[in-house]
Amino acid sequence: MDKLLNISPANIFPDPNQPRKDFDEEKLQELADSIRAAGVVQPITVRPGETESQYMLIAGERRWRASRIAGIETIPSVVVSNEESLTDESIFKIQLTENFEREDLNPVEEAEFLQQQIDKLKTEGNENPADIVVNALGKSRSWLSKKLKVLKHSEEIRMLAREGLVRDYSILNKLEKCSTEKKSRAIKSIKEGSFNAKEFFSRKRYDGGKKNSVKTVSGKTKDVVRENKFQILFSKEGIINLIDKTEYRHILDSSDPDWKMANDEMMKAYLHKFKEWAVDKTE
């Protein structure tokens, strides 16, 4: 049966599988000041450790860290001891619920934790680890794909999310598609606090290259322009943009929620099926 105890913060250690890796020192200090003045209002959740006096954190790491900074002698803790509550699945759900409901958990931390859980379930021999994760959260595979996509971004883009400078997934995705020069300018303005996403992305060709300013285009140049347009249209991103504008997107979402993450060859196969679908629709 669960019980409420006042435990010394020194006798509590964090769960190594806990998703949070980065903690804002300034916010922790603010919480510590609050705890020093009013105490810990909401108890943390722990489980018995290897020794009688030790406990492992399940939920409430920020409150535990802030309590240590505040120097309080004990922290109210709900000790979970029944077997059903101590299963990996139960702890997994508790930690996910706490962390995904927190506004200060950045997109990279979310994605890293989700991927960590998928990898762990995979090594344990589970055939559909992604399904186990989304079912535990009550989410969809497409939601999971969106969350994990941030891990495919370059380190400089992930850092924007990790530092809490950008939380909007759509902005992160657009920044990743920018040319090197444009991306650098965007990152600089984001760090300076002067970035305006609506104004920045309203400019044409934000995804790289300068617009051809030649008014009179020769036949050879027209061929180059047509070839560039063709390459853009039938690139992976071009195919995704094309399918996304039609009802066929819902068909792919149902059959393969991760279709947008497919390799180039598979994306061409999707394009071929899309053309067949489009022909059938017009007949």
Last residue of a domain, one of 49, 84, 105: 105
Residue 14 scores a pLDDT above 70: yes
Burial 108-140 (b: 16+ CB within 10 A, else e): bbbbbbbbebbeebeeeeeeebbebbbeebebe
Stretch among 6-15, 142-151, 252-261 having the lowest mean pLDDT? 252-261
Residue span of the structural domain in which 183 resides: 153-202
Q: Quick one: 245 exposed, middle or buried, by C-beta within 10 A (0-12, 13-18, 19+)? A: exposed
Q: How many domains does the structure of the chain reveal?
A: 3
Of 4, 100, 96, nearest to 46 by C-alpha is 4
Pair 166, 235 in one domain: no
Pair 81, 170 in one domain: no
Pair 79, 27 in one domain: yes
Pair 11, 99 in one domain: yes
Pair 184, 226 in one domain: no
Residue 216 scores a pLDDT above 70: no
Among the listed residues 26, 30, 52, 61, the single catalytic one is 61
Instruction: Give the per-residue pLDDT at 234.
Output: 59
Domain-embedded: residue 212:
no
Domain-embedded: residue 168:
yes
Pair 170, 236 in one domain: no
CATH number of the domain bearing residue 93: 3.90.1530.30
Confidence of residue 212 (pLDDT cuts 50, 70, 90): very low
Pair 7, 83 in one domain: yes
Instruction: Give the per-residue pLDDT at 114.
Output: 85
Pair 188, 161 in one domain: yes
What's the predicted TM-score (pTM) here? 0.48
The answer to whether 103 is a known catalytic residue is: no
Domain-embedded: residue 119:
no
Confidence of residue 113 (pLDDT cuts 50, 70, 90): confident
Pair 12, 100 in one domain: yes
Of 186, 162, 159, nearest to 175 by C-alpha is 186
